[in-house]
Every structure is written in C-alpha cells, then in structure tokens.
Structure 1
Amino acid sequence: MSLGVIMLVHTALGRAEQVARHWAASGVPVVIHVDKKVDRKTYKEFRAALNDEQEIIFSKRHYCEWGGWGITAATQLAAERMLERFSDVRHVFLASGSCLPLRPVSELIGYLDARPRTDFIESATTSDVPWTVGGLDIERFTLRFPFSWKTQRGLFDKYVALQRKIGLKRRIPAGLVPHMGSQWWCLTRQTLSAILEDPDRHINDRYFRKVWIPDESYFQTLARQYSSKIESRSLTLSKFDFQGKPHIFYDDHLQLLRRSDCFVARKIWPHADRVYQAFLTDEASAMKQAEPNPGKIDRIFSKAVERRTRGRPGLIMQSRFPNKGWENGVTCAPYSVFHGFTELFEDFEPWLSKATGSKVHGHIFAKDRAEFANGQTVINGGLSDDPLLRDYSGAAFLGNLIWNTRGEHQCFQFGPQDSQKVTEKLCSDANAQISVITGSWAVPLFRSNRNFSELRREAAKLQRIENAFLTQLRNQWTKARIRIWTMAEFIERPMEPLQTIIDEIGGAPQSRLKEAPKMADLTGFGQFLQNLKNQGMHPHLTGDFPIDNGIATPSKKPRRPYLVK
C-alpha cells in the first residue's frame, strides 16, 4: 500500500477509533500514538477495541504538552514504527485524532500515486510567515524556553524578557535555515527516512528540544535538507482565528467542508454526528474529484474573523467588550449634536424637527433624566430615560440610541449642565456632527431670578466645563465634524449657520429657509455680562456684547415724513 497514516490521539478516543477503522478499511496502515496523559485504563480499553484490525498498530507513548518537544518525539517514534513495519508505504500522512477524511481514501491514494516524489509540507522561513501570533518569530529558534507557556506563563514571559535584555541567544546549527509551517504534513518515505536516519540527528534533536513549538518547525526545516520536490502546503484543511487558536468545525459546517475539496479536515468537534456520518459512512455524498482548494472558503473565514474582531459599525458585541479599540466605530450612522441652541432659541427643537424631518431630542444627557423627543420615557430598543442606567456607560447608551433608530437621523442637545462622561466618545466619533454656540449657557442665567452671587458661581462653573469640552473638540485626534461660533458672532447673522446645519443634516443643499426659530429676548443681556465682569467673572466664551443691549434692535421712534416730488 502506498499510503500510511500516523494518528496523534489525546482525547475523544471513540471518534479516533472510528476514523482509524475508516483508514484501515481502505487498506491504509495506521500507527497510533496516544498521549501519555491519557490514563492507563482508558488506553488499554482503546487499544483492545482495535485488536481486530491488523493494519492498526500503536507506538510508544510520550507526554505531549503544547509548545514542547513531546509532540515531535511522539511523531518520530510513530514514523519509525511505520517505516519499519510497512515497507510498501511510500507516503506517510500525519493526522490527529480530531482529523476527518473528507473524500474517499482511494482519491487521496490516487492523488499521491500521481505525485510519488512530492512532499506536501508547509515550509516557510520566519521572514515569510505572516500568521505567527505571540510575538515570537526568529526568537523561537534563538532563545531558550525551559518553562511551559501553558502552565507557567509568568515564568515564560519573564525569562524571555530577561534573555532579550541581556542579549542571550542560542546558536543555530550550521547548515540549518529555520522554517515554519503547519504540523500536519504528508512526506515521502525517502524524505522522512532521511530525516530520521540523519547522522546529525542527535544534534538536530538536541537543538529543537529547546525551540518553542518544535512540531511546527522540526520537520518543516529538515525537509528542506532532503526533499527533491516540496509543495509548501498541507493537504489538511486547518483554519486558525486571529488569536492563533484552531477553528472547530461543527455540524452546521457540513456544506462548508464539502466546498473545500480538501482530503482531510481538522479540527472536528467530537459530537458533530452529522459530519462524521456524512464523510465516514456516506461515500455516495462525498466530494467529487478536484484539486484541494481551501481558498474557496477562505473568504468566509476571513469574514468571520472580521466580524468577531471588528463587527458591524456601532454595534459592540460581547466578544469585543470591553476591549478598548476593538469597537468598529462608536455609532452606526450620522447624527447631530447641538450645543447652546435651545438656550438661545425658544422653539428650536420643534423648528428643527419641522425643517429637517429628523427625530429631535432634548438634553439626553441631562443629569435628572434623558429628555427623549415628545416626552417619551422609553424609546426604541427599550432605552430608558433613567440617568443611572444611562450613565453606567454613556458611550453604550449613545451607540444603542443610534443603532436602534437606524434609518432616522437623530438630533439631540448637549451642554455644560449635562453629564460630561460621554464627551470623549462624542469627539472621537466620525458620525457626530457637533454644532456649538459658545457662551449660550449665560442666557438661562440671565433670565433666572436668582441671587447674583449664585449666578456668578454658576457662570464660572459652566464656563469652565464648556471650555474643557471645547479643548477636546479642538484636539488633533478628534474625528467629529465640528462647527463653533461664539454667541455674539452667531446672533449677528443667524440664518447663514442655520442654513448650513439644515443642509448638512439633509445630506444635500436644501431650499432656503423661510423662517428662523424664535430667539430669546436679550434686552439687557450686555449689562448682565458686564455685571459678571464687575464681580470678577469674565464670560469670555460669549464673545463681545455691547453694554446697552445684547443685540441691535430696531428703533421704535417714528420716522419723519417726507415728500417725493
């Protein structure tokens, strides 16, 4: 027989038995290595269950720890047993207990018979490997790793840092160029025997015992020394996520596995009954003969990784929360923030809603409650106006508000009297359109009936808060679209900025405004600002107002009559 299979088994022994019998039923000899961490009783029962199969034998057991030498040593022993016991084997295929043949074994044998001198092993230099995760590329060959990454992570990291700091490095044996690749290979007898019978094997083994994850580099490096023809790819479909962990295939991946055209897939969930039944017992539904092409499903895996790490804009799922920087945008759609407009205009919210057709809220970050449009207490998505729930995560509240009202432009008011916890997110959100009239907080104070000493303290506080917000808006990292006017310059010609805001919300130039919202009566406002200055509080954010009146008003004195000749 031209094909032999090595199986490295450590769990789900029932499934491993089923797959081993499937290989043997096609006349393929199988050498099984069972991790020494499997208890002796279970191992004996597993071995006894396969006693009736003459083509299935077992190799000496090793402790196999991830990232350590044990897996490589186990592979060496099983390969030696295979070459010694089955002289007709020309290709040796390395698989795990969770690997599953996707196509009839006869097709794999025919494929290898047509390529009798070809070794299928992923093998690339460290400079050409883009998939390593963990920050160790060439360093896995030049540093020492006496501590387990799995069980002694702290010592592992500290010892790596120490070696980097003092410049301690191992010497790579002469003639070896480190290569890396998938552990799951298919080598010819000539190449595999040359590796195992190398006169310098003791040197190679001594060196690779201290390499990190040698099962991904030992055969990948040494195959380059002896192979006459290498195809740097694996015949096993094996996918990994962005953290370097293998994807597990379940029952709902059945059609996806069929589309891959691969001979073998890893890693199959042991309880995926439909998958095992389809590929091990239903040969009629097996895939048609074709060149293995895992690239056909790469797009789906890439999309899955992107969905997990980036997700949809404005929707932060549990797989990414609360990792900062993992969110794909703060919100999912453009929205408008108005700072200082409701203070200056008496009917700004209904006017804006009528002019744009948008949903216009009040101060949704007000300290007493979220002022939703039309006085609602609960809106889309079950968002409550409760300030405690809202302020638990202001950014999440904002994201949920925009997400749950997709398709309708949202506008809301914001000011220095509101909770300021969300300002950083507002500034960093490219979907935010923030319009600011600075100093408008002074208008409600001017119209209030409070002691002047209280007004002065409140004015100083509000100006300090607004100034901090403006500093954030002008930060170089701000992504929001921002327009800022002082109150004095805005009221000189309010129609122009109002028209600009309306056009921006509509996404295209709108018809000229025929009416403006009603502006608050500012008679005496200039004197009020002067009184604040006289009390030691300088309201510089309002701009320059004359002392007589806040704005120029038409004279009520009747004009002289005149004759036209």
Structure 2
Amino acid sequence: MSLGVLMLVHTAFDRAEQVARVWHEAGCPVVIHVDAKVEEAEAKAFQAALGDCPNVLFSARHSCEWGMWGLVAATLSCAELLLSKFEDVQHVYLCSGSCLPLRPIAELQAYLDGRPQTDFIESAAIADVPWAVAGLEEERFTLHFPVSWQKRRWAFDRLVDVQRRLGVSRKLPADLVPHMGSQWWCLTRKTLAAILNDPNRAAYDRFFKTVWIPDESYFQSLARLHSRRIESRSLTLSKFDHRGKPHVFYDDHLQLLRRTDCFVARKIWSRADRLYQTFPNARGDGENQADPNPAMVHKLSDKTIERRNRGRDGLYMQSRFPNEHFESGVTAAPYSVFQGFSELLDDFEGWLALSTGCKVHGHLFAPDRVQFEGRVSEYQGALSDNARVRDYNPRSFLTNFIWNTRGVRQCFQFGPQDTQDTIWLMAKDPNAQISVISGAWAVPLFRSKRPFEAVRKDAAELQKREAEFLKVLRSQWARATIRIWTLSEFLDAPTEPLQLLVDEIGTYPQNRLARLPKMVDMKGFGSFVQTLKNAGMHPYLLGDFPADTQHAPTETPSRRPYLVQ
C-alpha cells in the first residue's frame, strides 16, 4: 500500500460510506473524522456500517465550524492516526465525504508512485497573489478571529473594527511565510510527518487557532517549510463561485467530468445517482497515465460566474433587478426612437419601413394604447397593447420589448404627449438612437381646429414636457446616439436628416433617397406660431418662424445636425 486517505464527514453518510469502500477496496487505508456536531447515534451507525472494513478507522472527533480551527484539528487527528497505524503509506490524500474518485484508484496510485517526493498542495504566497474571492487577505494572519463569522457575524465584524482602530498586528511565528490555497491536498508521508513533528508545532498551532479560515493556510504555509518539491495544485477538482462557495456537480455534469481526467472531484450532490453509479470510471488498472486536465471545467465555471455577475444585455435577473446599475447593458439590441417625424410627415411609419427594412411602430407609450406595428393587440413575447399593463412598469415594458424582438431593429415614435417614465432609460442606453424634431408637437395642434385657448394650454404643457426630455438628452449621463433639429431647421432642408437616418439604420444598400414622405399641409403655420407668441406662449423650441413665411421642403443647404453620443 502506498496511498492513505483522510476523509472529513459531516453529512450524507450513505454516500460517505460508499466512497470509503471505493478507497478501501483499492487497498487504501482510510481514516475518517466525523464532525462532533453530528448526533452520537448517527455517528455510531455510520461507524458500524463500515465495521467490515479492517483498514477503515475513525479518529477523535472535533467540532468543525467553517472558518475556524476545528477543521485543521480534525485533519491533524486523522493524519496522526493514519501515520501511526499504516507504516507503508507514502502519500496521504485529504478529501471530504462529498468527494468522489473519477478514475480508478490504481491510476492515482501509479501517478503518485511516479512522483514519490512530490507534494500536491495549492500554496500561494498572499504577499504576491490575491487568493481570497472576497474578504480579508493579510489581516487573516495579523488580527485575532476567536468567533465564528457564520454564526456570530455582528460580533466578528465588531472585533475586526476594534482591532483595526487599536492597531493590533500579531507577529508571525519565526520562519513562517503565510500561504493560502485549496483545503484539499495530497502530501508525502515525509512532509506530513515533518509538519506533525515540527518542534515549533505548538507555537504554530496556537497562532493558527485564531487565524481566519486556517484550513486554507495551515498546511499550505507549513508545507513550504518542510517539502522538498511542491506542485502548487490540487489533485481534487473543485471550483468556487464569485462568493467563494464551491460549485456542486450534478448528474448532468457526467460527460464533463469524464473528459477532465481528474482523479477526484468535489462537491458531488448526494443525490446524483448517475455520478455515483458511473464513477470511478473503470477504464483499466493504471492504463491511463494522463495528467488531470481541469481546464475545461474551469473555463465553463468562469463563464457561468461571468454570466451570473454580468448577466446578459437587456435581460434582468431577479437578484439584479431591484438594484439600479447592476444590469449588464440597458437593453438587448439597437433600436431607434423618432420624435416629431410622424406629426410632420404623412405615413412616416410606412415610408421608414420600406426605406430601411426595419420594424416600425407607432407611439409605444401613447396614453390610450400601445401602437404596435399593424396596431395588433399582442406582440412578440405576449406583450399587450393595454396601456394600464404597460404603465405598471414602463421601463420593463421597453426592455422586454427589445429583448423579445432582438435580431431585427425596432423603431418607434415618441412624443411629449406620451408616458415619459422611460426618458432616462433611453437616454442612458448606448443601444438607443434618438432623433428629435423639437417643436413638432405644434403641428397637430395647428391642424386640430380646436378653440385657441385649449390649444394654447396644450402647447404650453407639451413644450414643458419636451424641454424636460431635451434636458435629459443633453445631460452628461446620456449615452444614446442623439440628434436634435428644431422644427424650423428640419423644414429648411428635410432631405439631409432623412438620408442620414436611413443610411444609418437601413438594412438595404442605400443611395440617394428616391422618394420622400409627403409633408403635411403647413399653410398658415407661421401665423399660428405668431398668434401663440402674441398670447404670451412663446414656442421657443420650434426655432424661428416669421409670421409671413410659409415653410415648405427645400433642398437648400442647411446647418448640419449635431450628434451627441
């Protein structure tokens, strides 16, 4: 026998028994530690279940709390018992009850026999490499941590604060350089015995008893003092998420685990029946000499962590949704917003759809209903045209609309008469292209033939709302592509802005526009504007409109629109 196993168990005793038998049947002596918090009757039943395995022993029991000394004490007790009882053991493998051998044990034994003086333990100097996912680094060793972070978090945090204010800084034992790494290692007998019999062990133990998470630093630091050759890696496949929690392997990871060539994996779900039935993968005794290759799992895990943290552009997760700015991208795809065009140009929606190949909608945020393309009552993703449903959460309505229609550019109309709850979302969205003809809201009022007092009141309100929208678009936080023309500027030369917009969003190869949309009848509009001014309502967002001038489309050059990005 050349390989001995230390196993830390606190739950799922049926699976721990199954795995212990795998090690035992391969000729490996096993020493098991059962957490002292486990009921005595349950611990004795587990021990009795393995009573027919002569080389399976049980160590003294310690209470194991995450981040506390008990896990190291349990490992030391197991190691002392194993080395004292089994003199032929040359390598010692530390695992847990949720670890599962993937390859035949004979292949692991052959691999270790070919490296008789190599210690496999992840051991990174904290001065050089940031090991912790989140939390303390050097202070793990320089401060005292006598209470559990999990059970007494308030007291834990207050003790850290007090020690920082008092300037507490513990002195490290002589020759000790703090290292950290995975708890799961495989050490040679010589290195492990040197750690256990170190003349300064009592000092080391006293020091590490109040180090935070000592199971990730005790052996990792002391191995550096005694090992002849360290390979800073674990032979156990394990991966941690963005919070430092271990990934759990389930039945649907079967093929992935097969391709890793790793000897052992943790953490295996206790009810993953297919995994426990399939592994160890019996491909012959020692015939596979390949090095473990966990890169595939690490790559996949890194992708899942990135997806978990960043999400997908425009898709809002439950954990991220209530927190503004936690999202990754405001919306899922580019889209265009047009303000003032449909008020000024007849059948602007149909013309734009024909000219660009985009999906063109009416006013999605109209007060009475959602004006989807074709004025349907339901649209992709089961979005309803009901204004009350939309207005329950207009921001989510817009992000859902873009998510459900991604792949085809969406265009819709917007105006000061619409629900304004989405203006900041659109302005800060890099996917948005917003084109505004300021003051175009006056054209429908001019053509409405309503009583002047009602028109004047509506004009004042619409201008106020549009001014607020333009203020948002011009803010320093705006990230959309924004173009703004006054109504006067647009009427002076409409072809240029229309050509610009079609070239930018169109799906067809574009030349000069063959056909322009028809302008609404503007006869008498200048007088209407002057009348508003005379009544004290100054429509400054329209631009300059002499009272005796009738604006009509021209081709004369005009000032180019400005671009805000």
When normalised by structure 1's length, the TM-score is: 0.93
**CA separation of 1:450/1:176 partners in 2, compared to 1, >3 Å: closer, same or farther?**
farther
Partners of 1:333 and 1:161 lie apart in 2 by: 46
Partner of 1:340: 340
Partners of 1:284 and 1:106 lie apart in 2 by: 9
Partner of 1:500: 500
- Which stretch of structure 1 is more off in the superposition, 301-310 or 280-289? 280-289
Partners of 1:464 and 1:141 lie apart in 2 by: 62
Partners of 1:171 and 1:112 lie apart in 2 by: 37
Q: How does 1:301-316 map to 2 (within 5 A)?
A: 301-316=301-316
Partners of 2:541 and 2:286 lie apart in 1 by: 75
- Which stretch of structure 1 is more off in the superposition, 435-444 or 51-60? 435-444
**CA separation of 1:193/1:529 partners in 2, compared to 1, >3 Å: closer, same or farther?**
same
Find the residue that maps to 1:381 and give its secondary structure: coil
C-alpha distance after superposition, 1:238-286 (max 9, x if no partner): 0112222111111111111111111110011111111111114855599
Partners of 2:162 and 2:535 lie apart in 1 by: 63
The alpha carbon displacement at 1:175 in A equals: 2.3
In 2, are the aligned partners of 1:103 and 1:286 still within 8 Å (CA)?
A: no
The alpha carbon displacement at 1:172 in A equals: 2.6
The alpha carbon displacement at 1:106 in A equals: 1.1
Partners of 2:439 and 2:167 lie apart in 1 by: 60
Partner of 2:200: 200
Q: Which amino acid aligns with 1:125?
A: A
Structure 1 vs Structure 2: percent identity of aligned residues?
61
Find the residue that maps to 1:147 and give its secondary structure: coil
Partner of 2:24: 24
Partners of 2:553 and 2:427 lie apart in 1 by: 37
Q: Which amino acid aligns with 2:276?
A: Y
Partners of 1:386 and 1:172 lie apart in 2 by: 68
The alpha carbon displacement at 1:25 in A equals: 0.7
Find the residue that maps to 2:478 and give its secondary structure: coil
Partner of 1:561: none
Partners of 2:276 and 2:38 lie apart in 1 by: 23
Structure 1: runs of 5 or more not aligned = 555-565
Partner of 1:431: 431
Partners of 1:518 and 1:287 lie apart in 2 by: 80
Partner of 1:254: 254
Find the residue that maps to 1:260 and give its secondary structure: coil
Partner of 1:139: 139
C-alpha distance after superposition, 1:332-383 (max 9, x if no partner): 3221110111122232112212222322111101222211111111011111
**CA separation of 1:144/1:456 partners in 2, compared to 1, >3 Å: closer, same or farther?**
farther
**CA separation of 1:530/1:286 partners in 2, compared to 1, >3 Å: closer, same or farther?**
farther
Find the residue that maps to 2:259 and give its secondary structure: helix
Partners of 2:166 and 2:468 lie apart in 1 by: 46
The alpha carbon displacement at 1:437 in A equals: 0.8
**CA separation of 1:433/1:269 partners in 2, compared to 1, >3 Å: closer, same or farther?**
same
Partner of 2:150: 150
In 2, are the aligned partners of 1:279 and 1:286 still within 8 Å (CA)?
A: no
**CA separation of 1:287/1:535 partners in 2, compared to 1, >3 Å: closer, same or farther?**
farther
Partner of 2:562: none
Partner of 2:70: 70
Partner of 1:474: 474
Q: How does 1:207-356 map to 2 (within 5 A)?
A: 207-280=207-280, 282=282, 288-318=288-318, 320-356=320-356
Partners of 1:165 and 1:507 lie apart in 2 by: 63
Q: Which amino acid aligns with 1:44?
A: K
Find the residue that maps to 2:265 and give its secondary structure: strand
The alpha carbon displacement at 1:317 in A equals: 4.0
Partners of 2:381 and 2:345 lie apart in 1 by: 31
Partners of 1:318 and 1:287 lie apart in 2 by: 48
Find the residue that maps to 2:8 and give its secondary structure: strand
Partner of 1:102: 102
**CA separation of 1:127/1:387 partners in 2, compared to 1, >3 Å: closer, same or farther?**
farther
Q: Which amino acid aligns with 1:440?
A: A
Q: CA RMSD in A?
A: 2.2
Partner of 2:171: 171
Partner of 2:560: none
- Which stretch of structure 1 is more off in the superposition, 385-394 or 277-286? 277-286
**CA separation of 1:128/1:102 partners in 2, compared to 1, >3 Å: closer, same or farther?**
farther
Partners of 1:537 and 1:142 lie apart in 2 by: 71
Partners of 2:441 and 2:511 lie apart in 1 by: 31
Find the residue that maps to 1:469 and give its secondary structure: helix
Partners of 2:550 and 2:213 lie apart in 1 by: 76
Partner of 1:551: 551
Partners of 1:128 and 1:71 lie apart in 2 by: 26
**CA separation of 1:294/1:310 partners in 2, compared to 1, >3 Å: closer, same or farther?**
same
Partners of 1:438 and 1:285 lie apart in 2 by: 79
Find the residue that maps to 2:258 and give its secondary structure: helix
Partner of 1:118: 118
**CA separation of 1:280/1:552 partners in 2, compared to 1, >3 Å: closer, same or farther?**
closer
Partner of 1:447: 447
Q: Which amino acid aligns with 1:183?
A: Q
Partners of 1:513 and 1:446 lie apart in 2 by: 29
C-alpha distance after superposition, 1:295-338 (max 9, x if no partner): 13322222222333334433334464344444332223221110
